[in-house]
Chain A
Amino acid sequence: MASSITSITKPAAFSWQYNWSGTSRFHVIAKGRDVFFPSTTKTSHIFDHDDNEEPPVVEVYDSTESEADVDQMVNPPYMLLQWYAATDAKYYIAQEQETVGANTQWTTRKPTIFANGEGYYQFATPVLDDEEEHTWRIIALDDLGHESIVEFTMTMVRNPDPPRISLAYNAGTGNLTVSARST
Chain B
Amino acid sequence: MATAFTKIDALGLYLSGATVAGGGQPLPASALGGYRSSKEVQRLGFVVRGGFGIKPIRIDWISGSNGTGRSALNASGTTSLIWDPYDATAGTAVSVANGETKLIESNTVAKSIRVTRMSSDTPKGNLAIDVVDVFNDLLGFSNISSDDATAGKANYRAAFIRNHSGATITDIKVWIKTLGTQRVSGTAQLGSSGSGTITTATASGFADWPTSGWCHIKNAGTTREIVYYTSRTSTSLTVPAAGRGRLGTSAAAGANTDTIDAVPGIRVGLEAPSSDAIQTIANETTAPTGITWNAQTTSATGVSIASLAASADYGLWIHRDTPAGMVAGAQIRNSLNIEFVYSATTYSTVWSGLYRCANNALRLYELYSGTDTSPDLTATAATTSATLPFNHALTPPGSGNRTYHIVVRYRNAYGLTSLNRYERKTKIDSTGALVVKNPSAPTNMSLQGEIGGGGVYARAHYTAIDDDPVANTWAIYLANGSNPTGSETPILVPMTIENGGLFRRNVRPLSYLIGTFISGADVRALIRTRHSASGAESTNTTPATITTTTGPVGLPRVPMFGPGFGQIQRGASLGVGGTKIISAPYNVYLSWDSGYLDLWVGTDHIFRIRYDSSGAANNGIWTTYAFAKDVISGTPTSEPIDVVSATELYITSNGVRRMKIDRSAGTISFTSMDKALTRRSSNSSQPVFDATFQTLFQVYDPYAGDYATALDLDSDGTLRMNVPWRRAGTVGDFN
Residues of chain A touching chain B, judged by Cβ–Cβ distance below 8 Å, are 5, 7-17, 46, 48, 52, 54-55, 57, 59, 71-72, 74-75, 80, 82, 84-85, 117-120, 122, 130-131, 154-155, 157-163, 165, 167, 169, 171, 173-180
Contacts and interface: CB of A to CB of B under 8 A. Distances in A.
Nearest to B68: A68
A110 B365 CA distance: 36
A75 to B, nearest CB: 6
B394 to A, nearest CB: 5
B507 A11 contact: yes
Contacts of B428: 169, 171
Nearest to B433: A171
Interface string B22-43: 0000000000000000000000
Given A57-B419, A157-B414, A165-B388, A174 B409 contact: no
Shortest beta-carbon contacts, A-B, top 6: A162-B420, A15-B505, A175-B391, A179-B389, A12-B505, A120-B48
Contact of B466 (A9, A85, A162): A9
Given A12-B505, A118-B55, A167-B424, A176 B416 contact: no
Given A10-B465, A117-B55, A167-B406, A174 B432 contact: yes
Given A11-B465, A169-B434, A159 B394 contact: no
B57 interface: yes
Contacts of A167: 406, 408, 424, 426
Interface in B370-392: 385, 388-392
A5 B420 contact: no
Contacts of A7: 466
A82 B57 CA distance: 15
B47 interface: yes
Contacts of B389: 177-180
Nearest to A72: B419
Given A14-B504, A155-B143, A176-B404, A119 B55 contact: yes
Interface string B492-513: 0000011110001111000000
Given A155-B143, A157-B412, A175 B392 contact: yes
Nearest to A179: B389
Interface residues of B, number: 65
7 contacts: A11-B464, A12-B506, A82-B47, A85-B118, A131-B414, A178-B365, A179-B388
B470 to A, nearest CB: 8
Given A165-B388, A169-B394, A176-B391, A13 B426 contact: no
B413 interface: yes
B418 A10 contact: no
A11 B118 CA distance: 54
B417 A159 contact: yes
Contacts of A59: 419
A157 B48 contact: no
Contacts of B417: 159-160
A163 B413 contact: no
Nearest to A50: B500
Contacts of B419: 57, 59, 71-72, 159, 162
B605 interface: no
Contacts, number: 155
B413 A131 contact: yes
B416 A75 contact: yes
Contact of B416 (A8, A9, A80, A157): A157
B411 interface: yes
Chain B at the A interface: mostly helix, strand, loop or mixed? loop
Interface string B54-89: 011110000000000000000000000000000000
B356 interface: yes
Contacts of A12: 464, 498, 504-507
Interface in B409-445: 409-414, 416-424, 426, 428, 431-434
B418 A159 contact: yes
B47 A80 contact: yes
Contacts of A160: 410-412, 416-418
Contacts of A173: 391
A91 B365 CA distance: 45
B420 A169 contact: no
A162 B504 contact: no
A117 B54 CA distance: 10
Contact of B418 (A118, A119, A154, A163): A163
B421 A176 contact: no
A163 B409 contact: yes
Given A71-B419, A175-B392, A119 B56 contact: yes
Interface centre among B331, B418, B504, by most chain A C-beta atoms within 10 angstroms, is B418
Contacts of A13: 497-500, 504
Contact of A14 (B420, B470, B499): B499
Contacts of A72: 419
Contacts of B358: 131
B181 interface: no
A130 B410 CA distance: 12
A87 to B, nearest CB: 10
Contacts of B55: 117-119
A59 B409 CA distance: 16
Given A80-B47, A155-B143, A175-B392, A169 B418 contact: no
B272 interface: no
Interface string B102-125: 000000000000000010000000
A159 B416 contact: yes
B395 interface: yes
A10 B143 contact: no
Given A9-B466, A118-B55, A163-B408, 6 more contacts: A11-B505, A74-B331, A82-B48, A119-B118, A160-B412, A171-B434
A46 B505 CA distance: 9
Given A14-B499, A162-B409, A174-B394, A5 B421 contact: yes
Interface centre among A122, A163, A175, by most chain B C-beta atoms within 10 angstroms, is A163
Nearest to B499: A13
A15 B500 CA distance: 9
Nearest to B500: A14
B348 to A, nearest CB: 24
B504 A178 contact: no
Interface centre among A5, A46, A179, by most chain B C-beta atoms within 10 angstroms, is A179
Nearest to B57: A119
B396 interface: yes
B532 interface: no
A74 B329 CA distance: 13
A13 B470 CA distance: 10
Nearest to B465: A9
A174 B424 CA distance: 16
B646 to A, nearest CB: 47
A122 B128 CA distance: 14
A158 B118 CA distance: 36
A135 B389 CA distance: 33
A17 B358 CA distance: 35
B303 interface: no
B410 A177 contact: no
A177 B390 contact: yes
Contacts of B422: 8, 16, 54-55
B560 interface: no
Nearest to A119: B55
Contacts of B390: 177-178
